[in-house]
A and B are shown apart, each in its own frame.
Chain A
Amino acid sequence: MAKRIDVSGLNAYYGSFLAIEDISMTVEPRSVTAFIGPSGCGKSTFLRTLNRMHEVTPGGRVDGKVMLDDENLYGAGIDPVAVRREVGMVFQRPNPFPTMSVYDNVAAGLRLNGKYKKSQLDDIVEKSLRGANLWNEVKDRLNKPGSGLSGGQQQRLCIARAIAVEPNVLLMDEPCSALDPISTLAIEDLIGELKERFTIVIVTHNMQQAARVSDRTAFFNLAAVGQPGKLIEIDDTERIFSNPSVQATEDYISGRFG
């Protein structure tokens, strides 16, 4: 199920603007890797290059290599749609489909990609909602609109929707930044459970969160506004937060940044 990601020499552009420069890193399967760094340093851009969502933005362009086990996502003949089925994504703001019920939201990825029997779908929807720790809260309102749930429930619904298509990797772009502490806790617990099955990459602005949920942490920074973002270092989370090898990382983590 879970796959290793191996990035080498990756540059991402918006038009002619180089947003992130020369990034190389390895993300281990069945682990949580957190990206931290100041706003605008390219964490989210980098995350979106991992499932080819970057090129959805007008002018978005990438060069370099992203290996998912032994396949280069940017190789010739690779279908971005197929890539996104392997590498799922959860966004900053909960975004359930407003025209669909809770059930249809979870089933959306499957239904929109092919034909499934009703009984098969029922099983997958229940499994995904249980996987997202949401089943007990919504089992009696599966046919109600997904947008009627609370923010935290909506975000877990989006996670259920993402894991329903059984991806190998789950990318999370600040999944808790729009949520209250209790919903955040629910999602963090969920991340701990999900890493048994998926490779997880999470972007966060909350350093305690990075310390709590991740096995490895990558620090991104940019020299100045208008300069491309760079990977400063990636290491075990414990090391990054206790004894980082680069001074800039320590400054950022201890709040002496800028």
Chain B
Amino acid sequence: MSNATLSPQHGSLRGATLPKWFAWAVAAGSLAVGYGISAAAGLESDIQWALIAAVLFVVGSYGISAKVEGSRQAKDRTATSLVWVAFLLAVIPLASLLWETAERGVKVLDGYFLSHSMGVVADAEPGGGIYHAILGTAEQVGLATLISVPVGVLTAIYLVEYGRGKLAKAVTFFVDVMTGIPSIVAGLFILSLWILILDMGPSGFAGSLALSILMIPVVVRSTEEMLKLVPNELREASLALGVPKWRTILKVVLPTSIGGIITGVMLAIARITGETAPVLLLVWGTDFINANPFQDPQESLPMYIYLQWANSGGSGAAFDRAWAAALTLIGFIMILNLLARGIARWKAPKTGR
């Protein structure tokens, strides 16, 4: 084979190309070889042969493509396969986590489980449910949202539309600092302020306060980004019509960005729903239904999961309940995310004719 057939002459627009199924063929081939090698070497872990196959795939597609198509196409294929390998590496643990939770969680997850508390069930016995935990989580997260959304959105409006100079810089700085606060620190702060200094008892509301500390910076940040995306031309168009600035913000800027803001809020809610540390410190937990978030301990889903595991004494029934509660929590967050996407699509500025 002469070199001329491998790399096209300068000026020619045609080059040798590998067929579309090439990537799939290499993938299948490297999987087979990887599996063969590990079987021959007696490797037991699935991860080992999968990694061997991944390396073979990247190296193999580069080698063959470099021989047939030339080095530029080979580099292109290498980049593409690296992206695919990274994608699979990221997705596999996620999928396996979901699968594991679903598989173990469905055992006791039924209507009874969702509608009953642990009031008369000992930790090691089967039966009982998570109604009190769902109720507690919904109330605590709801209250935290009621506190955080107005504060967060108004702060973001100040920063984007009004804030100039030192005050705005200081606010931005503290929002950045707040983003990094560990949840246990937020919990300890409310513990010392609400329970130790103000002498209030543990309650769902105390938990909501700590959750707000975690939620506000997320809401500020996402809302700020969304408001910055609104083109200045729209603000000027509205101002030039003689509309006051506050009405411009209310009627033009916010409606244009509301989809993104709601998405940001939903994601912030999803984030705080899974918080355990501040809830453990401030809400304490209970096996009974307490619908009043302002008085006496409540339960919440993440705390329920932890306590079922911690107090189980190795009982399978408690483990099953913990898994089912985890599945419920994931489902709850997934529904929130879907809701956020739906609202974002529904509220997005329309470009259709």
Complex contact B353–A165 (CB within 8 A): no
CB distance from A140 to the nearest CB of B (A): 12
Complex contacts, A141 vs chain B, CB 8 Å: 353
Which 7 pairs across A and B sit closest by C-beta, in order of nearness?
A: A85-B242, A98-B349, A109-B241, A89-B240, A148-B353, A145-B350, A84-B242
Interface of A is mostly: mixed
Closest to A56 in B: B239
In A141-183, the 8 Å CB interface with B consists of 141, 144-145, 147-148, 158, 161-162, 165
Whether B242 pairs with A113 at a CB distance below 8 angstroms is: yes
**Chain B positions near chain A (C-beta within 8 angstroms):** 164, 231, 233-244, 247-248, 251-252, 255-256, 349-353
Asked whether A112 is an interface residue with its Cβ less than 8 Å from the other chain, the reply is: yes
A56-B235, A99-B350, A145-B353 given; name 15 further pairs at CB < 8 Å: A81-B243, A85-B242, A88-B241, A91-B237, A95-B233, A97-B234, A97-B238, A98-B349, A99-B255, A108-B241, A112-B238, A112-B251, A113-B242, A147-B349, A147-B351
Q: How far is the CB of B90 from chain A (nearest CB, A)?
A: 34
Closest to A98 in B: B349
A82 at the B interface (CB under 8 A): yes
Digit string of A119-157 for contact with B (CB within 8 Å is 1, else 0)?
000000000000000000000010011011000000000
When the two chains form their complex, are residues A99 and B256 in contact, meaning their CB atoms are under 8 A apart?
yes
Which residues of chain B are near A51, meaning CB under 8 Å?
240
Please give me the residue from chain B that is nearest to A171 by CB atom: B240
Q: Which residues of chain A from 43 to 64 have a CB within 8 Å of any chain B CB?
A: 51, 53, 56, 58
Check: A4 CB closer than 8 A to any chain B CB: no
Question: What number of A residues sit within 8 Å (CB to CB) of B?
Answer: 31
Tell me the bound Cα distance from A82 to B244 in angstroms.
9
Contacts of B247 in A (CB 8 A): 112-113
A93 at the interface (CB under 8 A from B): yes
Please state if A97 and B252 are interface contacts (CB–CB under 8 Å): yes
| A112 touching B243, Cβ below 8 Å | yes
Chain A residue with the shortest CB-CB distance to B252: A97
